[in-house]
A and B are shown apart, each in its own frame.
Chain A
Amino acid sequence: MNSENLLYAIGNINDELIENATKPRFNYKVLVSIAACLCIIIALPFFFAPQEPEAMGGAPSIAVNGTNYIISPYVAISDNIPEGFVFGGNEKIVNEKCEYYISSNNPYWVYVYQQVRTNGKTDSNGTLISTEPHYAYVRYVRADIRGKDLIMVNGSLYASVWSYNTDNSPSPSTETLPEGFEYYGETAFCGYDTIPEKELESNTGIAQVYVSLAEPNAVLVSTSWHTATADENGETLHKGYNIYVPFSVG
C-alpha cells in the first residue's frame, strides 16, 4: 500500500461520513469567550451524549451483563491475566469466540483473551511494534468513559470537550486564558482508561489547571503541540488550554 492507494481508499468511505463532513456548524467559540467574561457558562453537559457503541462503527466491542465495552484506544495488552481479574465467560468478538475476564473492583474494564499482532509497545520512533500473531489479554473499556480525558478538580470530575465533542458543542480549546481564570495546580497522572479519584488526578498526563471562582462549570487545562510546516524553520511549540466541563459517571 502507498499513499496514493490510501488517497483513493479514503475516496470510497461511507457516503454519510462524506456528506456530514461539510454540513455547516455553529461557531460556539465566540459564545464561550463572552460567557467566560460574563461569568456564565451554559450547562454544557446537557448537550453531550455519551457515544453509544453503535456509533463507534467497527471498533471491536463486547457486551457483558448488558453493558458495552469497547477496545481501549491505548493498545493496553498483557501477556498475563491482569491482577484482580477473573474468568467471566465467553463472547463473540468480530468473528471469534473469546474468553473475557472481569473484576468486581473495576467495573470499567474487561479483558478479552484474543489474537493480536503486536505487543502493545512502541519503538524509538513511536511506531507500534508488530509481532507474530499470538494470544494476549486486551483491555476493553466501558463505552461511556472510553476515550474520555478526565480530571478531578475541587472534588468534581471534569471531561475535556475534545474527548466527546460533537458538531453541536462548544469549541474544545482556546489559545488564550480568559479573564478570571487563575492557576489552581498541577495534575498527577493516574493511568490511562481510569477515572480520577483524588484531587488533581488526570487520566491523560501532567498538566497545569486553571479555574475561575465565578465559573465552576469550566476548567482549563494547559496543553501544547508542535508544528513543523514547510514555512517554519524547524519545529515550533504552541501553547494553549483545553476546556473541560463537568462530567458524571453513569
Chain B
Amino acid sequence: MTDPEIINLFFSKSPKALKEVNNKYGKYCFTIAYNILSSREDSDECVNDTFFAAWNAIPPAKPNRLSAYLGRITRNIALNRYKLLHTDKRKGMQTELVLSELSECIPANTDTEQAFNEAYVIHAIEAYLKAQPEIKRNIFIRRYFYMYPVKDIAKAYAYSQSKITSLLFRMREELRSYLEREGINI
C-alpha cells in the first residue's frame, strides 16, 4: 500500500490504518528502536507507542514523508525510554557510544548551562550535511539518526569498519568546526 493510501486510512480513522502501517513500517520502526534500546520487548513497545502516537496525530498532521515521520517518532520515544531505563550509563551500548562520539562535535567554549537554541542548531546541521557528498551524508545520518552500529553501516556500503570509523571521525571534526564558525559556541 502506498503512503498516501495509508495516510487516507488514518484520516478516515479506519482500523485498517494500523494494520497497514505496521505491515509497511513495523520492521523499520523496530530496527530504529532496537538500535537504541537493544531490547526486543522495549522495542516492540516503542513501535506500538509510535503507531498510537501517529493515530492520535493524523489528522490534523499530514506527513509528506511517512517513513521519516514515523522514524522520528520512534527515535524520540526510544531515546526517552533509554534515558528512563539507563541512568547508570551502561558502557558499550550503542546509544552511549553515539553520545560519546557526538560529544566531539560540541564546539569549544560552549557553555553547557546556557539555553540551547535547537532550531538554530538543526538548521546548521542541515546546512553542513547538505554540503557533503551524498555518500558521506548518508553514512552520517545512518550512524547518528538511525543509530546503526558501525559494522552494519560498513556492510551496507561494502567498506571496512575502519574506513567508516575514520570517515565519521573526520565528519565529527568538520561538524564541530562548522558549528564554531556559525557561532554556535555561546
Binding site for B on A (CB under 8 A): 1-22, 25, 27, 29-30, 55-59, 70, 73, 75, 116-118, 126-128, 130, 147, 162-167, 171-173, 175, 225-227, 229-230, 236, 238, 240
Contact = CB atoms under 8 A, between A and B. Distances in A.
B72 A18 contact: yes
B122 A6 contact: no
Contacts of A238: 160, 162-163, 166
B133 A15 contact: no
B133 to A, nearest CB: 4
Interface stretch (B11-19, B39-47, B54-62, B106-114): B106-114
B9 interface: no
Contact of B160 (A55, A70, A116, A175): A175
Nearest to B170: A225
A16 B65 contact: yes
Nearest to B64: A15
Main secondary structure on chain B at its contact with chain A? helix
A128 B68 contact: no
A170 B56 CA distance: 44
Contacts of A173: 163
A117 B144 contact: no
A127 B174 CA distance: 10
A128 B122 contact: no
B99 A4 contact: yes
Given A11-B79, A18-B67, A21-B141, 15 more contacts: A5-B118, A5-B121, A6-B105, A10-B102, A21-B138, A56-B131, A57-B130, A58-B123, A58-B127, A58-B131, A127-B176, A163-B133, A165-B136, A227-B169, A230-B92
A236 B162 CA distance: 9
B141 A126 contact: no
B54 to A, nearest CB: 14
B116 interface: yes
A192 to B, nearest CB: 14
Contact of B65 (A10, A11, A19): A19
Given A9-B118, A56-B131, A165-B135, A15 B163 contact: no
A11 B160 contact: no
Contact of B181 (A27, A75, A166, A172): A75
A178 B165 CA distance: 24
B52 interface: no
B112 A2 contact: yes
Given A2-B106, A58-B123, A20 B138 contact: yes
A17 B158 contact: no
Contact of B158 (A10, A14, A29, A73): A29
B177 to A, nearest CB: 5
A162 B133 CA distance: 8
Contacts of A27: 157-158
B134 interface: yes
Contacts of A13: 122, 125-126, 129, 141, 145
B124 A18 contact: no
Q: Which of B116, B131, B160, B180 has the most CB of A within 10 A?
A: B131
Contacts of A227: 162, 165-166, 169
Contact of A1 (B100, B116, B145): B116
A30 B158 CA distance: 9
A116 B182 CA distance: 9
Nearest to A28: B158
Contacts of B159: 171
A11 B72 contact: yes
A15 B68 contact: yes
A21 B144 contact: no
10 contacts: A1-B116, A3-B103, A3-B106, A11-B72, A11-B76, A25-B157, A55-B130, A116-B181, A225-B163, A240-B163
